[in-house]
Structure formats: C-alpha cells, structure tokens
A and B are shown apart, each in its own frame.
Chain A
Amino acid sequence: MSAPLLAVERLTKRFGGLAANEDVSFTVAAGEIVGLIGPNGAGKTTVFNSLAGFFPPTSGEIRLDGRPVAGSPPERMAALGVARTFQIVRVFKSMTVLENVMVGAMLHHRAVRAATARAWEALQLTGLERRADEPAGRLTVAEQKRLEVTRALASEPRLLLLDETMAGLTPAEVQEAVELVRRLQARGIACVVVEHVMEGIMPIADRMVVLERGRVIADGPPRAIAEDPAVIAAYLGEEYRAPGP
C-alpha cells in the first residue's frame, strides 16, 4: 500500500514546560474526512498549527505522501497542498469577497484573469457568488467562515484543515456547512475537521480522533467513538447523544 496522504507520527509540541501535544499519531487517507475532537485545551488547535506550519513541532514527524515536512513554514505547506481556516476568522477585510478568494487562487494561477476564473468556480461551489462584490468585512460571521473555506478551496488543496467552522452557527447554517464539506469530499479533498458541534461532525466524518490533555485517547469510526466509555468520560458526557428517532 502506498503512503497515506498525511501521517502524523508521535507529534509533540511543548511550550516551555507545558506539553500541548504529546506523542500524537494519526493518518488521513486521500479524500478522507477525519474529525478531531476533544475538550477545550486538549491541543486540537496546536495540532492544526503544526500541520499548517505555524508551529515547528518539538519532536515527531509529519509526512505528506511519505515525505517529511515537519517544520516547513506555512507558505511551504500551502504550496504542498495543505490549506486551513482559522478558528477566529481572518478574512482580508479591506478586500471584496471575490478578491479574498483570488488571493487563494493565485497560489497556482498567478495571472489575475486566471485567478478570477478559478475564484468564481470556488464561489459557485460554496454558494457565495452573489456576495462576490461585497467588502469581506460586511459579511456575517457565518458567511465569513464560508469565505475562509472558499479561499482555502481556491488554493486547490489536497488536505483542508477546518478549525471550528461550525461554531456559533444556527442549526440551518450547520446543515449548510455539512453539505459543503460533503461537496469538498466529492472533489477528492481530504479534510481534518476540528469541531465541537457534534451534530455537524458525526454524520460526515469517516473517522474520529479524540484528544485529551494533548494525547490521542481514541481513534475510530464515529459510531464506535460515540460509545467509547473513555471518550464519554473525557469529553462527550452529557453533551452529545445519538440523534433520536
């Protein structure tokens, strides 16, 4: 079997004496959706920042197609096909929605015309095309999150890291976000999804990785994870019950 798209091997990240991630290992196959869950402070965002190149890991390795990439800066990770969104949205506020997406498209299409065309495709896929000429700062938070996904999508990633894209959304908006992630998967894009909204992540994840205090405590299909006593004790508790009939 060929190497998985992403392999995280014994990833450890320490800030001073504090280990935010300790021996974290998991893999993501091409086109797979992996949910990354866990209580606040479990180290989910730290994993993201390491994967996206924002933090060099203290030890451990990150492999893309088997090649070691740990410690590469964000711009290098982007060029290798890893795109991300941010937990707290970071759209380019002085630019229009279309221009935001063009910046993503320019990774592979330097010319403005080609980038514009690519950006329109991405906007149509995520359903933001009617807002294209609006200043990005004027969008609602839900739309800004969608814009971040669109922008990342336009950079033609193989692996998309979605950081709490569904937090703070209404149930209807969560449904739209779920549909969107499914459309991304249909295009062959693998996603790692950090999410607290269980209604959003459980139905779409092929696999779930559960972090607690920086360590992986469970890794498996969503159904098994939802019934895992260790996961229930550490995180799910009263928060999530399988949807009733």
Chain B
Amino acid sequence: MSRAGLGRTLALVALLAAALFPLVVRSATWQNTAILMLMLAQLGVAWNILGGYAGQVSLGHAAFFGTGAYVSTLLALRFGLTPWVGMFAGAGVSAALSLVIGWPCFRLKGHYFAMATIAVGEIVQAVVNGWDLLGGAVGLSLPLQQTGLWHMVFNRSKLPYHYIALGLLLFTLLVNWLVTRSHVGYYLRAIKDEPDAARSLGVSLTRYKLYAIALSSGLAAMGGTLYAQKELLIDPGSTLSTGLSIKMSLVAIMGGVGTLAGPIVGAVVLTAIEEASRMGFGGTGRGTDMVVYGLLIVLIAIYQPAGILGWIRQRFPAAPAATPPARGAGEAA
C-alpha cells in the first residue's frame, strides 16, 4: 500500500474509532476525556495554520479561544442568541481582533513575534479580569434551564458534545485542507521557509500572514464557544491563560507542525501523557501538567523538531513517484 493509501486508511479508522468511542465506553470520566481530546485536537489544527504552515509561532492563542467563548456566551445571555450563530459571531470578532493584533506584531520576526503574542495574551487576560460586563475574574455562566440542540446545552448525557466536537474538528480540518490546496497554503509554506525569496516572487508577507492569523484565530474562537457550552462557566483563568496557549502550540509541535494530522496525533499523545501523570501524581496537581509540558518542549526541541509525524516520515520515506503526475497537463498547456 502506498503511504497516501495508508494515511487514508488510518484516517478512516481513526474517524470510526472517534465516532464509536462514546457508544462503546460508557464511563463518564473517559467520555469527558475523549471530548477534551477532540477539542484540543481542533485547537491544535487551528493553531497549526498560523504556527505550523506560516511558521508564525503564537503563544497567545488563548486570547482568540477566549474571545469565542465570551462573545457567544454574552450574545446568548443578553439576546438569547443561539450559540450556533454565536459561534460564527465569535469567530468573526476573533478574526477582526487578530488582524488588529497581527498588523503591528507581524513586523516582528521569529522569537520576537512569539514574545509579542505572549504579551498580547496576558494583556487580554488582564483586561477581561477587570471588565465587569464580562464578569471580571468571576466570569460568566450560562443557565442550565435552557437545554437542547438549539441552545447547545445538554445536561443528561455528554454524548452530543462529543459529536459536536468531532464535527468541529472535521470542519477545521476541511478548512485547513482547502488552504493547503490553494495558493494561500503554498505561499504560507514559502513564507515560513524563505520570506525574502517569497517576496521576490510577488508574495506580500503581511497580507498572507494576516490571512493565516484570521483563519487560525477564527477557528480557535469556534472551539472557545464549544468549551463555553460544555462547561457552562467561563472565566479568564480557564479560557485566557497562557498555559492554554502553550498547550495549543504544544499539540501541533509535538505531532508535527505544518501537517494536517500532526495536531491530532499530538492531542492523542498529550492527553495520554496527562492522564498518566494525573493517575501517577494525583488529580489536583496542576503544577505537574506544566512540568510535563516544559519537559516535552525541551525533548522535542532537542531530539525531534519535526514532531512525531516528522519522525515517522524520516523512518519510512515515501517511494519517489515514478512518473510526474502533472506532466500531461504541462505538455497540454
């Protein structure tokens, strides 16, 4: 079987496993873990568009996630707007915010851009902490009375959240795939590899980085809305923390930046490691999470900067294509 064929088969198996998991595994704890894993994978895929493909490492993506959570929640509380619409409103607000942030920050290169995004994340968190409209440090909570699909609130079974999370992940993957199949995807990779060479071929760095951050932040915001609907309580600590930003980047970096499936692999592995460390060190030790993240970043940076998928590709290189696929098209044109 070719590697592409193997990849498709694995993807199908993974999709089936994800769809059947909550029907087979009835433990509420495990079901919850699976939902969180799907959500984490979705955020990793969203982050990857900017951080992986365009190579602009953001460590402030929680700001966009939180924007999605707050916008849809506020719209639901104030105007009774369904989160299905609120999700896209949040994505729009988040994308707009990201353009305002990206415009100055994209003048910075490499590490300086990453540092600026940490600052942006912290600033947003500080602002929301002191903003009464948004509930300040206490946060906002959604009423439990209005349940059902329209309100995206389910109190009897967690099952619907699982399938919404899976659907959102597939939607995010579809957007990512469409980007890689368009000139935007090629331009983003070119910008990551050699920005000056990309410019010399007519690529406006600012314009395409702004495309990337708008898409990436909008998709992360949709994840934020889902989080708000699932937890029914949002506060700056849970939706805007730098720890969350790091986690989003970590799943993509660990799985393999700039690949479609990398963040999913990363989310599976990170969730497994987290669960193992939680069992090993006890449930409440939030500190151990951060120790584990830090250790993983160091290990990846030293031993495998290309991530898990990158390692697999190095171990099992694809056979070179025997005939150029587009040759006929080239001669026909």
B132 within 8 A of A: no
* Known contacts A74-B196, A116-B330, A134-B320: A92-B202 contact under CB 8 Å: no
**Of listed B190, B196, B321, residue having the most chain A CB within 10 A:** B190
**Of listed B205, B329, B332, residue having the most chain A CB within 10 A:** B329
Assembled-state Cα–Cα distance A129/B205 (Å): 29
A80-95: contact bitstring with B at CB < 8 Å (1 yes, 0 no)?
A: 0001101000111111
* Residue from A53, A93, A104, A124 in contact with B193 in the complex, judged by beta carbons closer than 8 Å: A93
Assembled-state Cα–Cα distance A93/B258 (Å): 13
Contact in complex: A121, B333 (CB < 8 Å)? yes
* Residue from B197, B329, B330 in contact with A92 in the complex, judged by beta carbons closer than 8 Å: B197
Assembled-state Cα–Cα distance A134/B324 (Å): 11
Assembled-state Cα–Cα distance A98/B321 (Å): 12
Contact in complex: B330, A120 (CB < 8 Å)? yes
A224 within 8 A of B: no
Contact in complex: A73, B199 (CB < 8 Å)? yes
Assembled-state Cα–Cα distance A79/B207 (Å): 15
* Known contacts A83-B200, A112-B181: A94-B326 contact under CB 8 Å: no
A190 within 8 A of B: no
Number of chain A residues close to chain B: CB under 8 A: 47
Contact in complex: A86, B196 (CB < 8 Å)? yes
* Known contacts A133-B321, A133-B324, A134-B320: A117-B200 contact under CB 8 Å: no
Number of chain B residues close to chain A: CB under 8 A: 31
Assembled-state Cα–Cα distance A115/B333 (Å): 11
- Residues of chain B within 8 A (CB-CB) of A53 are 199
- Residues of chain B within 8 A (CB-CB) of A98 are 324, 326
B131 within 8 A of A: no
Chain A nearest CB from B262 CB (Å) reads 13
B181-192: contact bitstring with A at CB < 8 Å (1 yes, 0 no)?
A: 111001101101
A155 within 8 A of B: yes
A132 within 8 A of B: yes
Contact in complex: B333, A95 (CB < 8 Å)? no
Assembled-state Cα–Cα distance A140/B324 (Å): 21
Contact in complex: A84, B333 (CB < 8 Å)? no
- Residues of chain A within 8 A (CB-CB) of B203 are 75, 103
* Residue from A90, A113, A115, A123 in contact with B196 in the complex, judged by beta carbons closer than 8 Å: A90
B-to-A contact residues, CB < 8 Å = 181-183, 186-187, 189-190, 192-194, 196-205, 258, 320-321, 324, 326-327, 329-333
Further pairs besides A94-B189, A120-B329, A151-B197: 6, Cβ < 8 Å:
A78-B199, A78-B202, A83-B201, A98-B326, A121-B330, A129-B324
A-to-B contact residues, CB < 8 Å = 52-54, 73-75, 77-79, 83-84, 86, 90-95, 98-99, 102-104, 106-107, 110-121, 123-124, 129, 132-134, 148, 151-152, 155
- What are 14 A-B contacts defined by CB distance under 8 Å? A74-B199, A79-B202, A91-B197, A92-B190, A92-B198, A94-B193, A95-B186, A103-B203, A107-B201, A111-B183, A120-B326, A120-B329, A120-B331, A151-B201
